[in-house]
Amino acid sequence: MTPDSAIETARGWLRAASRAAALTGAGISAESGIPTFRGAGGLWRNYRAEDLATPEAFARDPKTVWEWYDWRRGLIRDAKPNLGHYALAQLERRMGDRFVLITQNVDGLHNRAGSERVLKLHGDIWWTLCTACGDVRSDFRVPLPELPPRCAACGGLLRPGVVWFGEPLPARTWEQAEEAARTCDVLLVAGTSAVVYPAASLAPLARRHGARIIEINTEVTPLSGEADLCLKGPSGEILPQIIES
Ligand code: BV8
Ligand code: ZN
């Protein structure tokens, strides 16, 4: 299928959908200058993200893990949402609660682009959690005054409010994401390598419930063979084309 007719088909499916959902990954923020996990930018001081985003790494060396998050918070603070984020915010305005946005990203760019209902499967880099007293709060300071940062309430060690490998996803959020996948007619899957679970199980779940899967990615992924439509290219260019009214 030529890209134009594929774009036209995707637009038609989306317009005809009574319920739609989108699952986004790090690739949707790539055009905002934020490195993806498994692309070239996924390396930091020769560490792999998978080696830093774990409770074991944090227990062993909280300072180094926080240096990575502090560096990313700085990048994200200076980044701007791109046209892909804005297109999904527009889709939410058009469809209301018939549209659900699910993200694996912790950068908060969907919110900054105007999306109001965002299911954050892996948490939010702007939240901290106290490992001693459980205090949870948003903290936008960049850079943080000390690494690792300390709890204002009890002086305990803070951790980033994100879900690390080996940790369960927030239960209510995950239930809502599964419900969205089961009930949507169209699922857009944009900018994800589809290798991290359980997030990667949402597209097969949607498909089993009769949804059409539209993948938007610059590469082929393990999902590509199952998607009903694969739109190859940057999400910042493709999402506006398939969503514009
Ligand atoms: C859990 C938050 C259980 C932190 C993240 C073996 C087999 C299968 C599964 C497992 C296994 N071993 C372990 C597991 C489970 C594990 C997992 O899936 N591991 C993978 C690596 C195999 N999962 C977990 O541990 C999860 N928890 O299972 O708990 C449990 C249950 C009950 C009780 C106790 C335990 C937790 C997973 C969450 C981990 N946290 N992030 C942080 O961000 O700092 S995951 C991390 O990867 C990010 O959230 C990221 O979003 C996510 C997925 O990556 P992607 O978003 O897809 O990004 P990636 O770089 O990979 O790909 C970018 C894509 O964009 C590419 O395809 C590229 O082509 C494309 N792209 C680039 N530019 C563009 C573009 N596309 C469009 N436009 C562009 N411009
Ligand atoms: Zn505390």
Ligand nearest 239 Cα, by number? 1
Q: What is the pLDDT of residues 137-167, one digit of tens each?
A: 999 999 999 999 999 999 999 999 999 999 9
Q: What is the pLDDT of residues 50-67, one digit of tens each?
A: 889 999 999 999 999 999
- CB-based contacts of 96, cutoff 8 Å, min separation 6: none
At 43 the pLDDT is 67
Does an H or E element contain 94, and which?
helix 83-95
The C-alpha atoms of residue 57 and residue 67 are separated, in whole angstroms, by 12
For residue 143, how far is its CA from the centre of ligand 1 (angstroms)?
A: 26
For residue 7, how far is its CA from the centre of ligand 1 (angstroms)?
A: 27
Instruction: Enumerate residues lining ligand 1, CB below 6 A.
Output: 25-27, 30-31, 36-39, 42, 50, 53, 104-106, 122, 162-168, 191-193, 195-197, 216-219, 221, 234-235
Query: Cα-Cα-Cα-Cα dihedral of 195, 196, 197, 198, to 10°?
Result: -110
In this structure, the residue with its CA closest to atom 20 of ligand 1 is 196
Are residues 218 and 52 in contact, defined by beta-carbon separation less than 8 angstroms? no
Are residues 240 and 20 in contact, defined by beta-carbon separation less than 8 angstroms? no
For residue 150, how far is its CA from the centre of ligand 2 (angstroms)?
A: 8
Q: Would you give the distance in Å from CA 117 to the centre of its chain? A: 13
- CB-based contacts of 53, cutoff 8 Å, min separation 6: 162, 164, 165
Averaged pLDDT of the chain: 95
The C-alpha atoms of residue 169 and residue 45 are separated, in whole angstroms, by 27
Q: What is the pLDDT of residues 25-46, one digit of tens each?
A: 999 999 999 989 887 666 677 7
Q: What is the pLDDT of residues 182-224, one digit of tens each?
A: 999 999 999 999 999 999 999 999 999 999 999 999 999 999 9
- In the chain, what percentage of residues exceed pLDDT 90? 91
- CB-based contacts of 23, cutoff 8 Å, min separation 6: 102, 103, 104, 187, 188, 189, 190, 192, 199, 202, 203
